[in-house]
Structure 1
Amino acid sequence: MTGPDYAGYLRLERLLSLQEPLSPPDDGAATGSAELFFIVAHQTSELWLTQVLHDLDAATETLVCTDGRAAPDGIELALEHLHRAVAVMGLLEDTVRLLERLPVQRFAVFRARLGSASGAQSRNFHELEVRLGTADEGESPLYRAFLKALAARGTGVGEICRLGASGAGAAHRMAEALLDLGYRFWRWKVAHLVLVDRTLGGLSGTGGTTGAPYLLTRVRIPFPELRSAREGLHRHEPGT
């Protein structure tokens, strides 16, 4: 069998050379190890975010044809991508909780070396907010595509929430997957808020934000219309 070996296929030599702590030896081995842990956690998070973005874009594309029409079997195909994105969002939350194992005493030693570097500058994170509709730019393209797919079936979110899994089938499963995705995203942001408050207290962020207070203003749950439609079930008003 020809082709690349494991290390070559994954470009491991290059990948494993990208972790470069800035802590000098005088700071001690424990500090250097803690900074390496900090770097690995954030680099892997960026890789997982890349995967989530890829799957969300793929899910959106399967829902709508290139000419703008709803794809006949788009919902069924989109579910594969959404389920994977939901699972990866769980990994992102777990990574934030893992960072609680970074002793604040060690972080305080190397934090100044971060300069103005901040997670708020992550392009992947901003793109995720755009995809989910929690950015300031407007509605989620994924959710718009879902509504178009439902309209092609002659239904809407209120109706599929009322019918449930037995009555709405794949459409209901996708609505539930979107909710799972939204709440995983929300839990990830809450976990990050808790981590920052626990680690920094009232200190400002390295990127110039107010730190935890700023993060609190950015904790938003995606797909509010879908959540509202589910609330309508309690009022016996399924919504639209």
Structure 2
Amino acid sequence: QMLHELAGPNGVCERLDADVPLRAAQLLERVHKIQALLIEQLPLLETMFSSEFAKFRDALRPASGFQSVQFRKLEFLCGNKSDKFLALVGEDDAARAEMAVFLDKPTPYDHFIRHLAREDNGVFKIPREGLERDTRKPHEEDPRLVDALELLYRKHDEWGGRGGERYYAQFKVVEQLLELDERFQIWRFGHVKMVERMIGSMTGTGGSSGAKYLLSTIKPFWPDLWAVRARFGGAAVADAAPADPLSPPGAKPDDPPAPARGGCPFSGGR
């Protein structure tokens, strides 16, 4: 269903290509609801004891989540792209061909950036490299695209303050893409903890390093959406930061902390 909402007919990608961003945002919200259901299932699985799982775990070998064609298509679509995963489906040529299609597809974020480039006659100054990037590779942070996102946020705030909704739809899409990205990471983390709870540091049934490998996959699909957060309020927050209550009056930021006083065993005092 998530694949359908994102890449199917009249899905998120097509709505962005048609410059109907508000509809794309609505569809992304539906994807969030599906993600919430997936996250909610993990605690149910954790009610099984490790000893119970061990009774049938060996029967699963060499099956693995690596072999899930549908999940890999979803990951490829969102940006976790690597052609090495194509080999994990063995001799299933049809499955490999399906996956290859999604390996080539632009991500929803790619579609959004292209939409943004068409908006307001190029006011967002999207670089050509951002429009023509190799869609078979994962996204990397691009400061110029972060600049465009920052401008979008500021324009949205400017118009919102005047009672307008000029950039509301684009703003909403960015926030919904970020939510999708975050929920995917939350699910991954829950998956890691469930695996650790079940098998500890054992290898996976498919031969991976188990929880250690899964932990390495917890990273954002779209780094630009996270990087732009640091563009707002940084200086103001630093200026307004309260002084360390343990520092003596007039202490400079680089001065060593004041020695602990009293006999609290956790303070280092004697």
TM-score between both structures, scaled by the size of structure 1 = 0.69
Contact 2:64 2:204 in 1 (8 A): yes
4+ residue runs over 2 A deviation: 134-140, 161-168
CA–CA distance in structure 1, aligned partners of residues 81 and 32 of structure 2: 19
Aligned counterparts, 1:134-173, within 5 A: 134-136=80-82, 141-154=107-120, 155=124, 156-164=148-156, 166=160, 168-173=167-172
Picking from 54, 62, 66, the partner of 2:15 is 62
SS of 1:206's equivalent in the other structure is: coil
Q: Which amino acid aligns with 1:119?
A: G
* 1:207 equivalent in alignment to 2:206: yes
* Aligned-pair CA distance for 1:136: 3.1
SS of 2:202's equivalent in the other structure is: coil
Contact 2:77 2:107 in 1 (8 A): yes
Aligned counterparts, 1:117-196, within 5 A: 117-136=63-82, 141-154=107-120, 155=124, 156-164=148-156, 166=160, 168-196=167-195
Identity of aligned residues (%): 32
Contact 1:133 1:223 in 2 (8 A): yes
Q: 2:196 corresponds to which residue? A: 197
Contact 2:6 2:108 in 1 (8 A): yes
Q: Which amino acid aligns with 2:6?
A: L
Contact 2:22 2:172 in 1 (8 A): no
Q: Radius of gyration: which is bigger? A: 2
CA–CA distance in structure 2, aligned partners of residues 97 and 133 of structure 1: 27
* Aligned-pair CA distance for 1:164: 4.2
CA–CA distance in structure 2, aligned partners of residues 157 and 136 of structure 1: 27
Contact 1:162 1:233 in 2 (8 A): no
CA–CA distance in structure 2, aligned partners of residues 80 and 113 of structure 1: 42
* 1:78 equivalent in alignment to 2:70: no
- Unaligned stretches of 5+ residues in structure 2: 84-102, 125-147, 236-270
Q: Which amino acid aligns with 1:52?
A: M
SS of 1:101's equivalent in the other structure is: coil
* Aligned-pair CA distance for 1:140: 5.3
Q: Which amino acid aligns with 1:141?
A: T
CA–CA distance in structure 2, aligned partners of residues 135 and 195 of structure 1: 25
SS of 1:222's equivalent in the other structure is: coil
Which structure's residues are more often helix, by fraction? 1
Q: 2:217 corresponds to which residue? A: 218
Q: 1:67 corresponds to which residue? A: none
Q: 1:31 corresponds to which residue? A: none
* Aligned-pair CA distance for 1:105: 1.7
Over the residues paired in the alignment, what is the CA RMSD in angstroms? 1.9
* Aligned-pair CA distance for 1:210: 0.8
SS of 2:232's equivalent in the other structure is: helix
CA deviation map 1:46-105 (0-9, x unaligned): xxxxx11111111001111xxxxxx23x20121221110111111111112221112222
